[in-house]
Amino acid sequence: MRLHDLGLPYDRDGYDEGVYWQSLRAMAAGHRLYGEVFHSQPPVFLLSVYPFYMLFGRTLWAARLGIAVISMAAPLGACMLGRAIAGRLGALAALALMIADPLDLSLSQRIEAEAPQAALSMLAVGLAFTWWASRKGLAGVAWGACAGAMLALSILCKLLGVAAIAPFGLLMLAQLRHVFHQPAGARLACAGSLLAGVAGFLGAAIVVLLPYVGSFHSLMGSVVTYHVAAGVVYENLQQDNFDRIVPLLTSATAFLALSSTIIAVIRGDLRVAPVLVWLGATMLMLEVQTPLFDRHLVALIPPILSLTVFGISPVRRGWKLSSIAANTATVITLVAVVIVVGINLDRELEYYVSERNQSRGDDMEKVRQAAIVLQEATLPGQLVIADDQFAAGLANRSTPPDLVDTSFVRIRTKYLTAQQLIQDASQSNVYAVAFWSGRFHERNLGDFREWLVSSRRFHLRRQYTSSQERELWIKE
């Protein structure tokens, strides 16, 4: 499902795919993240995609393949959590719901951090519940270490993964309570798997971050400070965040999660608490996220889907009232799962049709034509400054590593200035400047075009419209 039409030659996001495609091209050319390549996400995202990009041809398809493969951690995690909570029926139900989720599928075909982060968080929580079900002995140590390591990787993929600390925290507190109720001589052995989880988290974090010790200040500036500045600039948009979240909270999957949660509360299943806290923490993070984009909402899918499993329990034999009630709840929940899966599969078919139509649309045809002109006007190896990195990628051209991202957010937060553009355009290996998306016409970048005209280093090769909005400048 993820491989179907994976290589459609258009920007599925509208901008960010081009940014991360150019980032991968810069890494392939030997430039380092945070030192030379501007990157506003933690390192695991691009580091995990990079091997697929290099091994499978350094193409758009290869980069998306990395996302598709990493996103498969989500069905695996859902299956593990479902099995830990409700046995094989729970595993199958969670697996089916995750596979059929249209938002997760769409983001699993884009070069963006959200799908990998959600997938790694789902796997981390699935491992945590598997550890909770088998906390003793070597198995407990292994599950704990794996869960802790996966939690670290999810956070270091995108900071929305921090919300997954909430269920981990509750499970750890419950285990600590159990440890302190043990005899003094048995406490250390009982806490072994808990310590393994902490060690796994710290070990994975150190392995990922150690190569960036020398550029740690730049990393923090790009990953943390930059987003804080964006929150200030786009503060007026935050009031609309809840309205963006509501549609997902009123989806068919969400209503199934609500009914399953009620069943779990009636049954007295306290294991639902960590997942509810996870959902609450994720909602809180999305509520304060500024700016909030629709793709961020995929972070809600793992906790919502996890709650659906609690309406299922292993089938009980006998005619006791408790057995009849539990089996009835399981049957009703499974029927609801089938209905929700059917609804979502239909939406996934609509998604496939929509993506193919958009790839053939007039807007993408114009971008492809612009890429052809750029390719004809430059030679391989010559760098291009562009406000549409995807078009440069289609032309098989790279941008300077510090200009892989020229987004409105970066411009309006003044993390990109006209002076920086002028300095890069003055470099000997930069041969073209492409105005396409309107980003370079932002007010605080106005000096850049004036410099192009007055410097006489570049000449206007192509004006795509009667205005100055879309132009291609080539170095003389």
Q: What is the pLDDT of residues 250-288, one digit of tens each?
A: 999 999 999 999 999 999 999 999 999 999 999 999 999
189 pLDDT more than 80: no
% the chain with pLDDT above 90 = 85
Rg of the chain over CA atoms, in angstroms? 25
Please report which helix (H) or strand (E) contains residue 109, including its range: none
Name the most confidently modeled range: 5-14, 109-118, 369-378.
Answer: 109-118
Instruction: Pull the structure tokens for residue 394.
Output: 């289609």
Alpha-carbon gap, residue 81 to 101, rounded angstroms: 17
**Among 136-150, 209-223, 312-326, 328-342, the least confident range:** 312-326
What would the mean pLDDT of 445-457 be, rounded to a whole number?
91
- Do the beta carbons of residue 210 and residue 198 sit within 8 Å? no
What would the mean pLDDT of 176-187 be, rounded to a whole number?
82
pLDDT of residue 421: 96
- Do the beta carbons of residue 123 and residue 150 sit within 8 Å? yes
How far CA 96 is from CA of 50, 90, 203, 228, in Å, comes to 29, 10, 33, 38
- Do the beta carbons of residue 471 and residue 463 sit within 8 Å? yes
333 pLDDT more than 80: yes
pLDDT of residue 327: 84
pLDDT of residue 143: 96
153 pLDDT more than 90: yes
- Do the beta carbons of residue 22 and residue 111 sit within 8 Å? no
Q: What is the pLDDT of residues 401-411, one digit of tens each?
A: 999 999 999 99
Identify the band that residue 128 occupies on the pLDDT scale cut at 50, 70 and 90: very high
pTM of the model: 0.94
Alpha-carbon gap, residue 291 to 232, rounded angstroms: 9
Question: What one-letter code names the amino acid at 56?
Answer: F
Alpha-carbon gap, residue 286 to 162, rounded angstroms: 12
318 pLDDT more than 80: no
323 pLDDT more than 80: no
Q: Is the peptide bond before 291 cis (omega within 30 degrees of 0)?
A: yes
pLDDT of residue 49: 98
326 pLDDT more than 90: no
**Among 62-71, 88-97, 173-182, 256-265, the least confident range:** 173-182
pLDDT of residue 467: 63
- Do the beta carbons of residue 67 and residue 108 sit within 8 Å? yes
pLDDT of residue 466: 63
| DSSP-assigned letters across all residues of 73-100 | HHHHHHHHHHHHHHHHHHHHHHHHHHHT
pLDDT of residue 315: 75
Q: Residue 296: name the closest of 109, 112, 49, 74 by CA.
A: 112
- State the average pLDDT for the chain: 94
Q: Where are the alpha helices (DSSP H) in 100-215?
A: 102-107, 114-133, 137-155, 165-180, 187-190, 192-209
Rounded to an integer, what is the distance from CA 299 to the centroid of its chain?
Answer: 8
**Among 228-232, 376-380, 463-467, the least confident range:** 463-467
52 pLDDT more than 80: yes
For residue 37, what is the DSSP state?
Answer: B
